[in-house]
Structure 1
């Protein structure tokens, strides 16, 4: 039996593919490569010494997706495929709702036709919205999202809850990520954003290798210890392990349930810069600029439910996140493209 990984050539998907193969799963990856690179999966196979099946295509294509399920003995699905840039979603809402929401609908329909009832969904802490109290807990109200990306994830969560009510056989773990960073310790796979990075860590790393001249820190006047935003950063390998453990949960439970995956610690932008400089030995020039619309002052996870029910807890330190990020970026200054 195989695990279907949608968007498996991307940052989190490729790291999860490593953990799946190392855990003995057969892996089928589907990806349209709109914001990922086929090279990542070649490196996954090199790292693990195992083969996976890759099929290029778009999950919004219902007929193609039906053929994927008909051609492979799929037992469960991990669903990453989505557009994910918060800022871009504000200017391209139609694309985000079409790709993220319609794509998930097509996937659910294909799963239903094929009789596949186990799903791990890549959700986001953005579903808690702007008024949620920290630390975020799964029993808090969701909503009040501040951008179409977060809204698309919340719509999908509600779809999954409705589908699970209608189909008692359906089992869904909705994993609400906080801020994944880092890379595989080999330095062979890591985060490879297309164009200007939307997230802090890859921007810092690109400044370090000379691709960017300096970092803009959005806001230095927040009510935090150093005036900059606080976020919950976790190692992408810890996150990937969480998906493997969630597969065990969906195999033994019914219904749809959310789980926070984070460290439970808030780290500021300036603390991130200092930690990277210590790990890499490279000075990061930065400028504090006005706040960015939609940014929240600070949030982090309460991940005790994931520890209780999935047996998952973040283990890798901030220092390790920085060391692994630098190893990846230093060794691959252009990401998966040739130097």
Structure 2
């Protein structure tokens, strides 16, 4: 059985689905601070059977000890954490407590239970404002530009140190770039419970007439159109990366690091233009000053994951946007005609 912390969240739910489709027994642990119990039911609808579910916080050592005592956990995929750059600048202590202390508590509970296989949801923000593009795993870390990235890097340091002191550990550090998209069924996707902090969920809400305008933070970056460039990766490709990492760790000990990205960057305006082309929906824009902690450009060199894991991102930007819009249309309908929009997506 595999424990997926944060398994009712955006990334964790897609990982859980792919693990279950492979035949693994999955137990989800989630405090539901930015997710819903309904997601577990949706996972069951997609897969045909329900995963186990524990409503608990990853920082709760007693709850974790009970989980490892009661269930035959063989490995952990650690997706629980806070993930918004802007929010981390406003609430740094909350990010350090959740992302760092939560990871320490989890690893302590795992070690005491004799479970030493761990896949960790890290982030490309650990590279900071890297001068080298594309970013390879050999690029230096240590200067993240925001508390979110700092908290992920601190958690990585914890895991590297524990593995260095105990050779039983097999740890995969997956440095995500920018996950977007949704499950192909339209049953699972990103559902922010508060104001979205990332581009695509905000864009979807504007396109869905839930918000008046897409606020673009920064139009004066040193990029071709002045807006930030990011490497967007389909969440289903990302989920597949976790499975490949888990397979690798079955045979290897130590700490292993992989970038999960496509190797190509798109600017904010390029994403908006592609979305309008895919959906036929016009997105009103408003330009605002840069946000603290943001950087101009960031995209991956995914060659190591291709070589060691046999993993490459298969879905392009338009497919990511189509799947995300399908999710929005099916689950949060506000504008018409929905049938035309969805039919155009299916045919596209």
Fold shared by both chains (TM-score > 0.5): yes
1:220 paired to 2:215:
no
Question: Unpaired runs of 5+ in structure 2?
Answer: 335-348
Quote the offset at 1:131 in angstroms.
3.8
Residue equivalent to 1:306: 305
Q: How well do the aligned residues superpose, as a CA RMSD in angstroms?
A: 1.2
Tell me the secondary structure at the aligned position of residue 297 of structure 2. coil
Equivalences, count: 334
Residue equivalent to 1:138: 137
TM-score (norm 2): 0.94
CA contact (8 A) 2:137 2:258 kept: yes
Deviations 1:5-60 (A, max 9, x none): 00000000011111011000000000000111111110111011022100000111
CA contact (8 A) 1:206 1:333 kept: no
Quote the offset at 1:133 in angstroms.
1.7
Tell me the secondary structure at the aligned position of residue 102 of structure 2. helix
Deviations 1:169-228 (A, max 9, x none): 100000000000000111111000121110000111000111110101122222222221
Residue equivalent to 1:210: 209
Residue equivalent to 1:326: 325
Residue equivalent to 1:173: 172
1:126 paired to 2:104:
no
For 2:90 and 2:290, how far apart are their aligned partners in 1?
19
Alignment of 1:192-211 (within 5 A): 192-211=191-210
Quote the offset at 1:84 in angstroms.
1.3
Residue equivalent to 2:67: 68
Quote the offset at 1:132 in angstroms.
4.1
CA contact (8 A) 1:182 1:235 kept: yes
Tell me the secondary structure at the aligned position of residue 77 of structure 1. strand
TM-score (norm 1): 0.96
Quote the offset at 1:118 in angstroms.
0.5
Residue equivalent to 1:45: 44
Residue equivalent to 1:29: 28
Quote the offset at 1:279 in angstroms.
1.3
Quote the offset at 1:289 in angstroms.
2.1
For 1:48 and 1:308, how far apart are their aligned partners in 2?
30
For 2:42 and 2:200, how far apart are their aligned partners in 1?
22
For 1:113 and 1:285, how far apart are their aligned partners in 2?
53
Deviations 1:87-120 (A, max 9, x none): 1112222211111111111111111111111000
CA contact (8 A) 1:132 1:140 kept: no
1:233 paired to 2:237:
no
Residue equivalent to 1:79: 78
For 1:218 and 1:148, how far apart are their aligned partners in 2?
18
Residue equivalent to 1:267: 266
CA contact (8 A) 1:184 1:237 kept: yes
For 2:234 and 2:132, how far apart are their aligned partners in 1?
24
CA contact (8 A) 1:132 1:141 kept: no
Quote the offset at 1:328 in angstroms.
0.4
Quote the offset at 1:334 in angstroms.
7.7
CA contact (8 A) 2:7 2:30 kept: yes
1:95 paired to 2:73:
no
For 1:74 and 1:87, how far apart are their aligned partners in 2?
35
Quote the offset at 1:313 in angstroms.
0.5
CA contact (8 A) 2:89 2:292 kept: no
